Amino acid sequence: MKTLEFVVRDIPEDKIARHEVSVPPAEVDLELEEIQLLGEIHGQIQLSRHVQDVYVKGSFSASVEAECRCCLEPVVADISGDIEVQFSPTDMAIPSDPWQIDTGERHYLGDTIDLSEEVRQSLTLEIPNWSLCSETCKGLCPQCGENLNVTDCGCDVPEEASSPFAALADLLDRSDRTLES
């Protein structure tokens, strides 16, 4: 049984059950190649049940490692996400629409609810999509590929050559001249 699975009949009826959980990273696959979970996901969960409907609220936090977009060094970020979802039972083997984002309603099959998909989605939303190791990251040398934050490789890189617009500016300059002549 996974940490984020709960047996419905074990959830107290019309009362709130609180759980503190530490979820091993293997249980929640963030499905992002460049992002790694560092250690466990910590969460506080509140569960309550009315007959067979289960109401869940929770907040989760984790540390992830990403790559600096500029110098490719690892960057650690702390993320947290909240979930709020209501589960109701279904007897369909494959519910036609098991996940309804708008309403926060889900169906469960059998006697167990599984929160791992909710947790995955809430955390994935919080991952910064443009991570930098620092605001002033110097990136990699365009000539030799050294990390300019740690070494001064001494390459003589002309100022213009490092700008992606340099080539375009060059081109415009030349077409100007052609027009004149």
Question: Phi and psi (nearest 5°) for 173?
Answer: -55, -50
Nearest Cα residue to 6 out of 100, 98, 118: 118
CB 134, CB 119: distance < 8 Å? no
Of residues 21 and 153, the one with the C-beta less far from Zn ion? 153
Can you tell me the distance from the alpha carbon of 54 to that of 7, in angstroms, rounded to the nearest whole number?
10
Of residues 95 and 145, the one with the C-beta less far from Zn ion? 145
Binding to Zn ion, residues 108-167 (CB under 5 A): 133, 137, 141, 143-144, 146, 153, 155
State in angstroms the smallest separation of the CB of 155 from Zn ion. Answer: 3
State in angstroms the smallest separation of the CB of 140 from Zn ion. Answer: 8
36-50 and 74-90 beta bridge pairing? unpaired
CB 115, CB 83: distance < 8 Å? yes
* Among 23-31, 64-72, 107-115, 122-130, the segment contacting Zn ion (CB under 5 A): 64-72
State in angstroms the smallest separation of the CB of 45 from Zn ion. Answer: 36
Exactly one of 37, 56, 71, 85 binds Zn ion (CB under 5 A); that residue is: 71
Can you tell me the distance from the alpha carbon of 127 to that of 112, in angstroms, rounded to the nearest whole number?
29
Residues contacting Zn ion: total by CB under 5 A: 11
Residues that bind Zn ion (CB under 5 A): 68, 70-71, 133, 137, 141, 143-144, 146, 153, 155
